Structure 1
Amino acid sequence: MSQSRPQTILFADVSGSTRLFETKGDQEARRLIAKVLGALTTVCQQHGGRVIKTIGDEVMCTFPAALNGVLAACDMQRKMGRDIDFVRDSLAVRIGLHHGDALEEADGDVYGDAVNTAARMASLAKREQIVTTAATYNSLSGKIPEARSLGKARVSGKLLPIEIVDLIWQEDTSGMTMVQSAIRLGDPTGGSNARLRLRHRANQIELTPTSQPFSMGREATNNLVIEADWVSRAHALIEFKRGHFMVADRSTNGTYVRIGDDDEIKVHRDELHLRKSGTISLGQSFGVNSGDVIYFDAD
């Protein structure tokens, strides 16, 4: 019988695994990924955690308390940074975690809001980074790692964006700007006045930090539909996260962004911070596709 209880959910995955398969070949890439997941499993168990499952290049763990999960996440990153085999092959992981109620099934698997939020934190994390919710961080006590605010991010199933933080696991933190106050981390005003205005032909749209992700593409279900052969069905997404409006490309042909008078940037299966003002062109360069360009202006 399933039961719900508070626990910390942690996801860790190998950063850049696609490139690993391209450069190392399938067999060697699988061996390296298995070695990383084995090391992460050992660290998890050392901190009283339990591995729920491994999925491809990702491991999912649970811990009885937030502090266990946070300390395990820091030690996972340190393990990756110290192990000569991992360093030699430029292997790294990205980690997301969250403490909350999760439904635990009889077979040991877990589901629910805490799992969804932790998975979202992992998707926001970059290489060698640990991202968690400010609520999880603010619940910690004792000797804890420092953190930096990353602003707010939208999580599926939640009405409003939530505050997120980046945990500082590195032992040498010289040159980093620390956020040591839980009050500052929980400041609800961060980024609340941000605005992004979009213009495409006769359409004018204004996005705020609480807006739903704004989709663009050829398919009719998108918020902005651009019917062109070079535009993918679900081409790109604009979303407020880490305190900024970001455009994320999901297309075959890429998304071309020009900020101010700078040179045009091709974003392909990646994301870019939209700042100041400029243009977004789906699938083709601005010079070729001037009739369907999206103009943006960010505050």
Structure 2
Amino acid sequence: MDQKTEKLAILFADISGSTALYETLGDSLARQMVGRCIAVMAGELAAHRGTLVKTIGDEIMCIFPSAEDAMRSACSMQLAVENGKPGGDRPMFIRIGFHYGDVICESGDVYGDAVNIAARVTSVTRARQILATEAVVNALPHELKDKTNYVRRDTVKGKQEHIDFFQVIWEPEDMERTRIGIPAYRKPQESNEEMILRYHDQTLTINEQHKSGMLGRGGVCDMVVHNDFASRQHARVEARFGKFVISDQSTNGTYIRFNDRHVTHIVNEETMLRGSGSISLGQTYSDNPTELIEFSIVFTPVKA
């Protein structure tokens, strides 16, 4: 078999919350919606010299000759799904992650460390978000570098060194905010705070060492709730260099009540957690939910 090594951009794009679609709509209708969404994403490849390597369920894997091509295609995919409405009246959201590096090309597929890194980036990306590695940003022209912001440092299985992740700004209003005063490459200071979440006899701690945790009724979650309103993987709580963020990826949404009694409701989006309060997965506070997750942010002294 012919085998060659090339430097390419590897991009994964998948449909956020597709499991919930199958649960709520049934296999036939959900499969149609997923198929339309994948067709919309794949339709943005040719204009940016992209090649579809394969489709894996609700995800596509693509390669591009340059980081610039991959970034422009990623932005086009997000806009096409946003404006094309492949789900009809039901919003559909995608998440995209990509990396730039050496890959082994063989029999129409690609392999290697760079592919694993791209997959890892996508696994931590949220709905309606595009994340790229530092290798991508370093290979971009200056005008595109200005449309990226540093967001986090993470590890990749099997690699000792950390990898820096950057968010790509793709929405027109966000691009305007970037131009008028949000600098690229901002690296916030690491925090001495941590978040403690409690549910019955379960405790989950989120900090710079344990950066995230999944909440839901599925057995694989870091905190498993006994709540019929919750999705199997309902929401993720994450530490981002001094801030704590909750990202909803459910059908019914997530309700947060802060200690000042203010209530926030998010559906397939995220919000910052502050102080202390409670989280209700899928059930409004007016229904007097009993399965609440209590949270509090505490300061931990720096060890000498």
TM over 0.5: yes
Q: Which amino acid in structure 1 is aligned with residue 188 of structure 2?
A: G
Q: Distance in 2 between matches of 1:60 and 1:277?
A: 40
CA-to-partner distance for each residue in 1:227-260, whole Å, 9 max, x for gaps? x989xxx999754348633467999xx9997643
Q: Which amino acid in structure 1 is aligned with residue 296 of structure 2?
A: F
Moved more, 53-62 or 273-282: 273-282
Whether contact under 8 Å (1:95, 1:122) holds in the other structure is yes
C-alpha distance 205-45 of structure 1, shift in aligned 2 (>3 A): closer
User: How many angstroms does 1:169 deviate by?
Assistant: 2.5
Q: Distance in 2 between matches of 1:211 and 1:132?
A: 22
Tell me the equivalent position of 1:44: 45
C-alpha distance 246-194 of structure 1, shift in aligned 2 (>3 A): farther
Q: Which amino acid in structure 1 is aligned with residue 208 of structure 2?
A: P
Residue 14 of structure 2 aligns to a residue whose secondary structure is strand
Whether contact under 8 Å (1:53, 1:59) holds in the other structure is yes
Whether contact under 8 Å (1:154, 1:162) holds in the other structure is yes
Whether contact under 8 Å (1:191, 1:209) holds in the other structure is no
Tell me the equivalent position of 2:71: 70
User: How many matched pairs?
Assistant: 290
Tell me the equivalent position of 1:152: 152
User: How many angstroms does 1:62 deviate by?
Assistant: 1.1
User: How many angstroms does 1:88 deviate by?
Assistant: 4.0
Tell me the equivalent position of 2:302: none
Q: Which amino acid in structure 1 is aligned with residue 274 of structure 2?
A: R
Q: Distance in 1 between matches of 2:249 and 2:76?
A: 33
C-alpha distance 139-32 of structure 1, shift in aligned 2 (>3 A): same
Q: Distance in 1 between matches of 2:35 and 2:169?
A: 26
Equivalence map 1:136-285=2 (5 Å): 136-141=136-141, 143-144=143-144, 146-149=146-149, 151-157=151-157, 158-159=159-160, 162-171=163-172, 173=174, 176-178=177-179, 185-187=184-186, 189-196=187-194, 198=196, 208-211=207-210, 213=212, 239-241=238-240, 244-246=243-245, 259-262=258-261, 273-278=272-277
Q: Distance in 1 between matches of 2:127 and 2:215?
A: 27
CA-to-partner distance for each residue in 1:72-119, whole Å, 9 max, x for gaps? 112222322443x53744344222212123344x33333343223322
Q: Which amino acid in structure 1 is aligned with residue 194 of structure 2?
A: L
User: How many angstroms does 1:140 deviate by?
Assistant: 0.4
C-alpha distance 241-10 of structure 1, shift in aligned 2 (>3 A): farther
C-alpha distance 62-142 of structure 1, shift in aligned 2 (>3 A): same
- Alignment partner of 1:296 is 2:296: yes
Residue 144 of structure 1 aligns to a residue whose secondary structure is helix
The gaps in structure 1 that reach 5 residues or longer are none
TM-score (norm: length of structure 1)? 0.67
Q: Distance in 1 between matches of 2:237 and 2:128?
A: 24
Whether contact under 8 Å (1:255, 1:280) holds in the other structure is yes
Whether contact under 8 Å (2:13, 2:94) holds in the other structure is yes
Q: Which amino acid in structure 2 is aligned with residue 138 of structure 1?
A: N
Q: Distance in 2 between matches of 1:54 and 1:27?
A: 18
Tell me the equivalent position of 1:9: 10
Whether contact under 8 Å (2:102, 2:114) holds in the other structure is yes
Q: Distance in 1 between matches of 2:25 and 2:95?
A: 20
Residue 79 of structure 1 aligns to a residue whose secondary structure is helix
C-alpha distance 28-262 of structure 1, shift in aligned 2 (>3 A): same
Equivalence map 1:44-123=2 (5 Å): 44-83=45-84, 86=86, 88-89=88-89, 90-104=91-105, 106-123=106-123
TM-score (norm: length of structure 2)? 0.66
User: How many angstroms does 1:10 deviate by?
Assistant: 0.8
User: How many angstroms does 1:298 deviate by?
Assistant: 4.6
Q: Distance in 1 between matches of 2:221 and 2:92?
A: 36
Q: Distance in 1 between matches of 2:44 and 2:280?
A: 45
User: How many angstroms does 1:151 deviate by?
Assistant: 2.1
Whether contact under 8 Å (1:14, 1:58) holds in the other structure is yes
C-alpha distance 276-68 of structure 1, shift in aligned 2 (>3 A): same
C-alpha distance 109-275 of structure 1, shift in aligned 2 (>3 A): farther
User: How many angstroms does 1:269 deviate by?
Assistant: 10
